[in-house]
Structure 1
C-alpha cells in the first residue's frame, strides 16, 4: 500500500491514463456481463457500429438491442453517477474541512426524497410524463439547497460550520415531510416503489436520461479542476487562504452551486446511492495526499470505475432479481473504509 501511495503521488498523470484505459475496458466488459452473456468482441463491434455507422448486420438484432438500448446507457449512467458523487464528495469535504462530509450533507438527498415521494405517491409533476419522478426529485433537491443557503448566509459569506448545521436541520425537516407523505400513502405498492427509489438504482435507464447528468458532470469536473489551487490553500486554514489571495466567499459559493447541481441531478436520475461520495475521496487522499490537482481527477476516475462494477454485482448477485445498488455501495464501501483506516494512519488534509 505504501509503495502504491508513493508511486501514485509521483506519477499521477500516468495513473490517470491507466485508470482511463481501465474505465474504457470496464465499460465494454460490464456491458457484456448479465443474465445474457455477450462477448467482448461483440460489444465492441456493436458500440462502434452504432457510433460510426459501420455494418453490424452479422450481429443478431436482439443482441444489438441488449447492448445498445439496455446495457450501454445503464453502464454510462453508472460511470457518470460514480464520477459525479465522488466529485461532489471532494467538494463538500474541502468546503467544510470535515472528513465526514459527503454530497448529501446539505440536505439535498432529503429534499429529493420529498419531491420523489410526491411524484410517486400522489402523482405530482404528472405533466412531465415518464420523467415526473426525476423532475420531482430534482426540484425537491433544489428547494432544499435553497433553504440551506438562505439560512446559512451571514451577510455575503457562508461559514462551513453553519452550513453543516443548517444542512442537518433541513435534511431532518425534509425527511420528516417525505415520511409524512409516505405514511399517508393510499396504496402500499407506492410505498414499496418509493422505498426502492430511495435505495438507488440505474436499471432501465434510457438514453435521454443521460442528457442532464452528462450536461452537468463535464462542467463540474472543469470547475473543480480550476479551483484546485484555492482548495489547497483553504485546507491550510482561512487565514492562510486569504493571505494567498483566495476569495473565500466566491470559492465557497461556487462549491455550493457545483455540489448542489451535481448531487441534485445524480439523485434525480439514480436515487440515493450512499457512501460513494464519502469513501472514494478518502481512498484517493490516502494514496496521493490532499493536493486537489491529484485528488480531483483520480476521484472522478475511481468513482466511475467503482460504481459500474458495483452495478454489475447488483444485477448478478441474485439474478434474475436485482439488488438496489445503494445497498451494495454501503456493504462494500463501509468495510473498505474501515480497512483503510485500520491498515494505515490516515489524516484528513494530509499534505502531498
Structure 2
C-alpha cells in the first residue's frame, strides 16, 4: 500500500502495518493504529495544560516588583465580574496594578506565546525545516524595521499613539509579501526557495534596522529600539490584548481547518499533489495567515525569539506530528511558557526589567540542546 493510500485512510500515521483482524472480531471495531489511545492521550494533554494555564494566569498577576497575594488578586478580579466580595479590603493602588498593568500583560503574554508557537508549527510544515520560525522568514525583521523607524524618526506619527503598533504590523506584512514574491518563481513556491527568500530578506531588514539605530542622534531612542526588538509586554493594554486574541484565535481556527493538508505538505510535495492539494496554493494561504498573525504579535510585544522554534518540537514529543493534535498543544505549552518567562523578566533585576527575548533565549537554548541530543543520528 502506498504512502498516499495510507494517508487517505490514516492521516495521523503514514507508515503503518496492514490491518490484521483477529478471528471472529468485527473489522469495524479493530483499532489497529490505536487511534482511541492517541485521542485520549491528546485530550489528557489538552485538559492538563488548560488547567495549568488557568492556574498560571492569576498566579502570574500577583507576582512582580509589587507583590499581591493570590487571595487579594482573586477578590480584585472577581468583584467586578460576579460582585463578590461586596466589601473592598484592598488599596486603590493594588486595584490599578491588577487591572491596568498585570491582567492585560499576563493575558497578552499567553496569547503572544500561543500565536508564536502556532506560527512556528506551520512554518516548519511549510518548509519541512526543523529550524523554521517567524524570524527565519523575515516577518519579525520587517516589523522591527518599521517599528525602529517609528521610534527613531517618527514614522506614522500622524496616526497618534498607535503609530508604533501600526508601523510594526505594516512592516511584517510588507516583509511577508516580499518573501512571497521572491520565493514564487514560474508560479511555483518550493520550501527551499521560501527559506532562502526569508533568510535573504531577513538579513537585509536587520541591516536596515541597525543602520537606523546608527543614524539616529538620540542614544535613548536607540536603547528603546533595542529593548523593543528584544521583546517586551510593557505596552500591553486591554485593547491590544483583545485585538491580538482575536487575530490569534482566527488564525488557529483557519490552520486547524487545514490540519490534514499541512500533514500532507510536511510529508512532501508529491504526497500533497497526489491527494489533490496544491503545495504552492497551500503555502501561499499559510504564508498570508502567518504574516498577519506574526504582524499582530510583533506589533503588540516586539520580537520574541525561540518560542516559535522550541515549543513546536516539545509539543511533538508530547502528542506526535499530526497537526490536529499538535496545534492546540503547542499553543497551550507556549502560552504557559511565555507567561512565566514574563514573570521572570519583571522580577529578575528589580527595579529594572529584562527584555523578554533574553529570558526566552536563556530558557530555550537548553531545551534546544536537549532536542539535539535526542535527535535521530541518521537524520
TM-score, length of structure 2 as denominator length = 0.86
Q: Which of 287, 293, 299 is equivalent to 1:262?
A: 293
Aligned to 1:41: 71
Which residue does the alignment assign to 2:15? none
Pair 1:204–1:347, CA change in 2 (3 A): farther
1:200-246 CA distances to partner (integer Å, 9 max, x unpaired)? 10024221222331221101111111111111112221111222232
In structure 1, the residue matched to 2:41 is 11
State the SS of the aligned residue for 1:230. Answer: helix
C-alpha separation between the residues in 2 aligned to 1:113 and 1:38? 34
**Matched position secondary structure for 1:235:** helix
Residues 163 and 112 of structure 1: is their aligned pair in 2 closer, same or farther, counting only changes over 3 Å? same
Residue 4 of structure 1 aligns with which residue? Answer: none
State which of 240, 245, 248 in structure 2 corresponds to 1:214: 245
8 Å Cα contact 1:233-1:240 kept in structure 2 = yes
Give the match for residue 161 of structure 1: 192
Matched, 1:251 2:273: no
CA–CA distance in structure 1, aligned partners of residues 60 and 265 of structure 2: 39
Q: Corresponding residue for 2:271? A: 240
The aligned counterpart of 1:335 is: 366
Match of 2:179 among 139, 148, 153: 148
Structure 2 CA distance for aligned equivalents of residues 281 and 136 of structure 1:
28
Quick check: 35-44 or 192-201, which moved more?
Answer: 35-44
For 2:64 and 2:52, locate their aligned partners in 1 and report how far apart those are by CA, in whole Å. 19
How many angstroms does 1:48 deviate by?
A: 2.4
Does the 8 A contact of 1:230 with 1:246 survive in 2? yes
Residue 100 (1) aligns with residue 131 (2): yes
Counterpart selection for 2:164 from 113, 119, 133 = 133
Aligned to 1:302: 333
CA distance in 2, matches of 1:216, 1:348: 39
Q: Go from structure 1 to structure 2 and tell me whether the alpha carbon gap of 1:142 and 1:345 turns closer, same or farther (over 3 Å shift).
A: closer
Residue 27 of structure 1 corresponds to 57
Q: Secondary structure at the match of 1:279?
A: helix
> Distance in 1 between the 2:333 and 2:305 partners?
16
Gap change, CA 1:216 and 1:177, over 3 Å in 2:
same
- Deviation (angstroms), 1:287: 2.4
Q: Provide the aligned length of Structure 1 versus Structure 2.
A: 342
Q: Do the aligned residues in 2 keep the contact of 1:46 with 1:56 (CA within 8 Å)?
A: no
Query: Can you give the 5+ residue segments of structure 1 that lack an aligned partner in the other structure?
Result: 1-6
Contact 1:9–1:289 at 8 Å: present in 2 too? no
Contact residue 8 and residue 287 of structure 1 kept, 8 A: no
Matched residues in 2 for 1:329 and 1:348: separation?
29
Equivalent residues of 1:74, 1:203 under 8 A apart:
yes
Which among 295, 313, 316 is matched to residue 282 of structure 1?
313
Distance 1:48 1:126 in 2: 38
Q: Which moved more, 1:82-91 or 1:133-142?
A: 133-142
1:150-208 residue CA offsets vs partner (Å, 9 max, x unmatched): 12212443211111111111111222222221111021111111111111100242212
Whole-angstrom distance in 1 between the partners of 2:281 and 2:179: 17
Q: Which runs of 4+ in 1 moved over 4 A?
A: 7-10, 346-349
Deviation of the 1:144 alpha carbon: 1.1
Q: CA deviation at 1:56?
A: 5.6
Corresponding residue of 1:198: 229
1:80-91 maps to which residues of 2 (within 5 A)? 80-91=111-122
Whole-Å separation in 1 of the counterparts to 2:243 and 2:164: 14
Greater Cα radius of gyration, structure 1 or 2: 2
CA RMSD of aligned residues (A): 1.9
Cα distance in 1 for residues equivalent to 2:239 and 2:378 = 39
Comparing 109-118 and 154-163, the one that deviates more = 154-163
